[in-house]
Structure 1
């Protein structure tokens, strides 16, 4: 269960709309939410007072638009570089999910354009929900695609997807077995008996346990491309994918080179997916 959420406020837009959609989910309704507004540092102290007052007003307006129950929300105003502040506050509060907007940039382009979401994606070990600013419409969370393999990260993704959809009437889970070298065609894989698949069988059992509708798909070709194509073809509202942290403990404060250059599956999907992407995390030692 996601008990604490950090929403990095960037004003009206898809991120707020996505959060409102999440508020329709019973599990999210029980979560404590911190809405964070970051004030960039100013060289002139004389302008700081008015800037803080404006930011406080914007923060109050954001909370009003979101419609969160007052006992469940905490406004927070911090000064500093947004990239650093989001990571620091997430650790301070020990949140179970960071929600923030994204321009869908990756690799060196994101670094050169000072992407906050790319930086947080690089260095935070917290689960993240990334919402592109303007590239798609936000709909109620009914159909959730879960990318699965044999990893512990995959098990965490399944757990999160079950928690989000178990109490949502008419919800559906789309289980995607991310095989990169599938011998059969996609049609043959869909028609095969998924209950014998070591990856899909546990997911099916969990869906049946909570009486959640489901379907199974095994993508043919490159997993990242097929996952994004399936999300588009099936009109998926949310994509859940594991994003492992491969860095050793000594390098936790440094970027992951695969992510930096866009070489990981999770990086490809977060950039190209036609829907919001929830990246689950289990940090490695």
Structure 2
């Protein structure tokens, strides 16, 4: 288990919205987190026990010590319209009957705009975004609202990198079908390529109008991402967490798999039971280390450890449905494999004065099987936690 004295969630928060119910749910989910950041900067709330060690042995300043101009960035992206659609729109207006007065001129202009921008009426405008943000954040002044044009995934990721966002909140519409299977949705692509933590929400009939963080499901294992998930959970405790269900899942062991069919064709019951006991003992050790890393005082938060064996993705969704949790917290390995672009091998690499190559690696495009399954089938919002290295200043 990696270092849990990290600060995984920090401002600014990037909220990518398209006006859908799932995006509205994401906006309401980030409300307590943004209020928490605002209270910490005003000195009304102490830091949640995060004391990373510096190189000299003292306490290093947290990433939030940097000055940020905004706490919340709200972004909506309007797809660009193809040129042939623009030409068809102009042709339709040119062949219409000539207008005679000012009222008909305005009406013809609106028709031309609707024909040239067929998605303009489907996405919220700048005024609608501002009104929606002011409704949920009435006392927040450091908020920015922006409307861009382009590919949603590209614009959202570029915006996150430019403002050095500590969290991206996006709604998952769940279009399904062959298109999502082959191309993937915007939320799935952001989960793959985002340089920071990602909050994915999905609207359903069971989602309330005022979501909360009373009960969270924290999935832990021995991977590097577990440290980031525990650190993010510690940060969210002042935001209203009252119950934490710690879940550790291991694949079921089989004596035939371990010893081979030739060595033990018919494994004994004692051997299978012994392997299961060892597996459960190792799982409980992982849970105990996670409980110790949370550093929760007695009576502050109720922590319930739970050990399961089976397929991780379906089990997480099933347990979240049974317990009616408000949020699933998963750790995503920040040191994912990096691959060089095939075209970079043919280009002349520029080197620095120290002789280091300036070739920029690209991240692997794959999520883990568990992360991908939970994102698509979870009955509640999902938080993928990644530790982020901020640039100085």
TM-score band w.r.t. shorter chain? 0.7 to 0.9
Q: 2:384 aligns with which of 272, 279, 282?
A: 279
Q: TM-score, normalised by structure 1?
A: 0.81
The 2-side partners of 1:68 and 1:266 are apart by 34
Aligned residues: 273
Of 5, 27, 30, which aligns to 2:36? 27
Mapped to 2, the partners of 1:203 and 1:107 lie a distance apart of 38
Structure 1 residue ranges without an equivalent (≥5): none
> What secondary structure sits across from 2:32 in the alignment?
coil
Establish whether residue 200 from structure 1 lines up as the match of residue 270 from structure 2. no
Shift of 1:65: 3.1
Output aligned runs, 1:35-114, within 5 Å: 35-42=74-81, 43=83, 44=86, 47=113, 55-104=125-174, 109-110=179-180, 112=182
Q: Deviations over 1:150-169 (max 9, x none)?
A: 1221010011012112452x
- CA deviation after TM superposition for structure 1 residue 180, in Å: 1.8
CA contact (8 A) 1:146 1:157 kept: yes
Q: Decide whether aligned partners of structure 1 residues 71 and 173 sit closer, same or farther in structure 2, where only a CA change above 3 A counts.
A: same
Cα 1:271–1:114 shift into 2, 3 Å:
closer
Aligned match of 1:7 in 2, 15, 32?
A: 15
Write out per-residue CA displacement over residues 215-235 of structure 1, whole angstroms, 9 at most, x where no aligned residue: 001122111111111111111
Cα gap change, 1:108/1:219 in structure 2, threshold over 3 Å: closer, same or farther?
farther
Q: What SS does the aligned partner of 1:74 have?
A: strand
Number of the residue aligned with 2:64: none
Distance 2:207 2:239 in 1: 23
TM-superposed CA distance for 1:110, in Å, is: 1.7
The 5 Å alignment of 1:264-275 reads 264-275=369-380
Cα offset, 1:113, TM superposition: 6.0
- From the CA coordinates, give the structure whose radius of gyration is larger: 2
Shift of 1:57: 2.0
Asked if the contact 2:326–2:380 (Cα under 8 Å) also holds between the matched residues in 1, the reply is yes
Q: Does the Cα contact within 8 Å between 2:76 and 2:148 map onto a contact in 1? A: yes
What does residue range 123-272 of structure 1 map to in structure 2 within 5 Å?
123-134=193-204, 136-138=206-208, 139-168=211-240, 171-181=242-252, 197-210=284-297, 211-244=300-333, 246-250=336-340, 253=362, 256=365, 258-259=366-367, 264-272=369-377
Q: Where does structure 2 lack aligned partners over 5 or more consecutive residues?
A: 1-8, 40-69, 91-111, 254-271, 342-360
Please give the alpha-carbon distance, in whole angstroms, between the structure 2 residues aligned to 1:116 and 1:70.
Answer: 28
Question: Take 2:320 and 2:37, find their aligned partners in 1: how far apart are those partners?
Answer: 23
Distance 2:220 2:184 in 1: 32
TM-score normalised by structure 2 residue count: 0.60
Distance 1:149 1:56 in 2: 43
Q: Give the Å deviation of 1:119.
A: 1.9
